[in-house]
Structure 1
Amino acid sequence: MRPPPRHRRAQTRPARPAGPAVELTIDTLGGEGDGMAPGPAFVPFTLPGERVLAMGAGERRELIEVLQASAERVVPPCPHFGTCGGCALQHWDRAPYLAWKVERLAGTLARQQIDTEILPPFAAQPGTRRRVALHARRGSRDAAKLGYKARKSWDLVDITACPISDPAIVAAIPALKRLAAPLFEHPKSAPTLHVTLTASGLEIDISGVERKSGGLSADARVLLAERAAEADFARVTIDGEVAYQARQPQVHLGPATVALPPGAFLQATPQAEAAMAEFVAVEAAGAARIADLYCGVGTFTFRLAGIAPVYACDFAPEAIRALGSAMASAPGLHGVTAEARDLVRRPVLAEELKKTDLAVFDPPRAGAAEQTAELARSKVARVIAVSCNPATFARDARTLIDAGFALDRVLPVDQFLWSPHIELVGVFSR
């Protein structure tokens, strides 16, 4: 749906910066999703080809008015869009939005002189995020303010809706606000509720509660537990310590059922997880022995163990324990040997990979430079790299390519909907 030619900004957006109002023509989008005019001048919530009125000085401007809208502009689905700092691109039609993300990925690879086949992207749908981090601020005795940080500010946008999140999380917002209300006994407390939707219900791991004063009082803990029970949450923890538990939070990963440790990492949407896991399994077909590095609680491990024996390792001991315990729920696999290991300080050495013909790794945003160096030195025939950061992926890919690997293909994955972020799975062979 296209807005009227003179589309005014919502009045709740940040205050206009100092500087004269100027008319700009947007040529392209910058890396953070802001429109870019010659200068350069970056203007949020604008699209290529638009003529806009903006205010400010220097490179960063604020949109006042869209004078001539792009045919690709759509009505944002969220009432908080423009104020909330969570989404940057809800105003852009789906097809060009995805094409831009793929182009950015190709550009990042090109900077490392990497050219490869880029497959059609997997794109998450609205209402599928199962994992969100909601900031809380002091409200009333019965309900805290809860939401995301505002754009360019530490202020909080107290949300009532979130179209990226699973409806079960959105429906729980009032109960989550009640849950957060007892957390402000200490003036320095700035809690964040890390909410995960599991097969057993919502798990909430709370961080940011001031601990120097002894943490929450007994009365506050009782009230927290009572409100968790009222809402039928599965588990509430504070920095990993259980404050309330009705059921063990569980997720299904391939053939296995995993009991989640508090605050365990999961892919943001189950649909993206399934798409990546299926892609990895197809590319892993025929392997005789597999290493699953940065395995977490087993996102890929159990599916890979249906193909061949797997050596799985991760820096988080609690994740490895959960993975090991879940093996009993998935009989018939080829076997998993699991180890807690810091792959930065102690990467799996090339000599340890002598009998391994396929390695899969899914590191944090910093990438896997140390482990990639050992893979490059090894005789491993195939590598599958899962990444949430194209820049560090490209760096690590360059290391493998320089050692004789080819990057055969890349699957882009858009699971952080309406943000500038893109993830990917890359397949290498010697």
Structure 2
Amino acid sequence: MAAGPVFVPFTLPGERVTAQGAGERRDLVDVLQASPRRIEPACPHFTVCGGCALQHWDHAPYLAWKVDRLIGTLARERVEAEVLAPFAAAPGTRRRVTLHARRGDRDSARLGYKARKSWDLVDIDVCPIAEPAIQAAIPTLKRLAARLFEHPKSAPSLHVTLTDTGLDIDITGVEAKSGGLSADARMQLAERAAEADFARVTLSGEVAYMARLPQVRLGPARVSLPPGAFLQATRAAEMVMADFVAEAASGATRIADLYSGVGTFTFRLAEIAPTHAADFGAGAVAALSAALSSAPGLKGVTVEARDLVRRPLLAHDLRHTDVAVFDPPRAGAAEQAAELASSKVARVIGVSCNPATFARDARVLIDAGFRLERVLPVDQFLWSPHIELVGVFSR
């Protein structure tokens, strides 16, 4: 018998199960008494694939559990706020996935996700979280990946994004020290991309094939994406978050959009007031700048390539700004939050994929006199433990 709690994946509260193993983490053997909230998983690869962890849980308690985890994470930093009804992404709406490839035969690679608790690959045929266009492309993506194994050390990953103009695929993990792909392999890669009518295929950012620019609409703008560009995982979540951010920024006279990326929020914010966008990614900044001409009616946008960890916008830089938005990577925005805390900015809107670092940064703002008014939970990584949020602070 274990002396303390034991964690067994693929179980639910109240169930009686048998498990095997040692220590606090065990493996499920059998469910002796199932929860009434247990449902049939949507994917035939569930429990083997390392992607989804919660497909066996009915939607309502699953979502409530994720929101409770979010509230608990905030509470550990003594952060409280009104938590709004969460947004939940539907199955079949994930527009970007990373698929790993392993050698198969000459015409078709093995393609899928890492297996649970293993470096092995689960060769998938379907993926219920992904957009139908991505699922339909799995056989052609396997054909495309078959040409990537000239070097035995190659372990390719295909970063697939569904754009308004078709699939954009950035391939990483192809051994480069030997000279990369041969001219013959590159030609066959391009031929297979053309057969599949992909928009673009790049090798670590270098164009190997392009039929048309991968583009997405962000508010009033049409943005041509750089290779490997970051987008919110689902289009619906992006729209809900952008609407929420824009509503919270209404009435602003000057806005700072920090960690702006390709302009997920920038163009919507610039319909409200002049907006300064800053991001460390030169490609993202260039794409945002180039898209400005496609968006009529903006109040004015300035764009800056800037590492906001090493060179956050200082309180002095923000002296004419009354609303600031930040949407950092998982590590959070500690350096920028400190400057916002000492600035005269009246309202801050934080977007985060990591509630723990958001809570840390929120504590800095709250200690400086801000109040976290409300939080919108966003579940766009369906059937995983992860949840995102948007929080609105006012002085």
Q: TM-score w.r.t. structure 2 length?
A: 0.99
The reply to whether residue 266 of structure 1 matches residue 224 of structure 2 is: no
Q: How does 1:274-289 map to 2 (within 5 A)?
A: 274-289=239-254
Q: Return the alpha-carbon distance in structure 2 between the equivalents of residues 141 and 173 of structure 1.
A: 16
Q: SS of the residue aligned with 1:426?
A: strand
Give aligned-pair identity as a percent: 77
Aligned to 1:302: 267
Query: For 2:183, which of 206, 218, 236 is the aligned residue?
Result: 218
Does residue 382 in structure 1 map to residue 347 in structure 2?
yes
Measured after TM superposition, the shift of residue 332 of structure 1 is: 1.0
Structure 2 residue 326 is matched with structure 1 residue 361: yes
Alignment root-mean-square deviation, CA:
0.8
The reply on whether 1:191 has 2:140 as its aligned counterpart is no
Encode CA deviations 1:347-372: one digit per residue, 9 max, x unaligned.
00000000000000000000000000
Q: 1:398-413 alignment to 2 at 5 Å? A: 398-413=363-378
Q: How does 1:146-225 map to 2 (within 5 A)?
A: 146-225=111-190
Map 1:28-177 onto structure 2 (within 5 A).
39-177=4-142
Residue 60 (structure 1) shift: 1.2
Q: Secondary structure at the match of 1:353?
A: coil
Q: Work out the CA distance in 1 between the residues paired with 2:307 and 2:79.
A: 29
Alignment partner of 1:303: what SS?
helix
Task: State the SS of the aligned residue for 1:148.
Answer: strand
Whole-angstrom CA distance in 1 between matches of 2:63 and 2:386: 11
Q: Which residue of the other structure, out of 305, 317, 325, is the alignment partner of 2:290?
A: 325
- Offset at residue 38 of structure 1 (A): 7.4
Quickly say closer, same or farther: Cα 1:229–1:422, change in 2 above 3 A. Answer: same
- Give 1:115 deviation, angstroms: 1.3
Query: Aligned pairs, how many?
Result: 395
Runs of 4+ in 1 over 2 A off after TM superposition: none
Distance in 1, matches of 2:3 and 2:347, equals: 44
Aligned counterpart, 2:302: 337
Tell me the alpha carbon deviations over residues 233-273 of structure 1, each in whole angstroms, 9 at most, x when there is no partner. 00000000000000100000001000000010000000000
User: Which has the higher relative contact order, 1 or 2, with Cα contacts under 8 A spaced 6 or more apart?
Assistant: 2
TM-score, length of structure 1 as denominator length: 0.91
Distance 1:284 1:379 in 2: 16
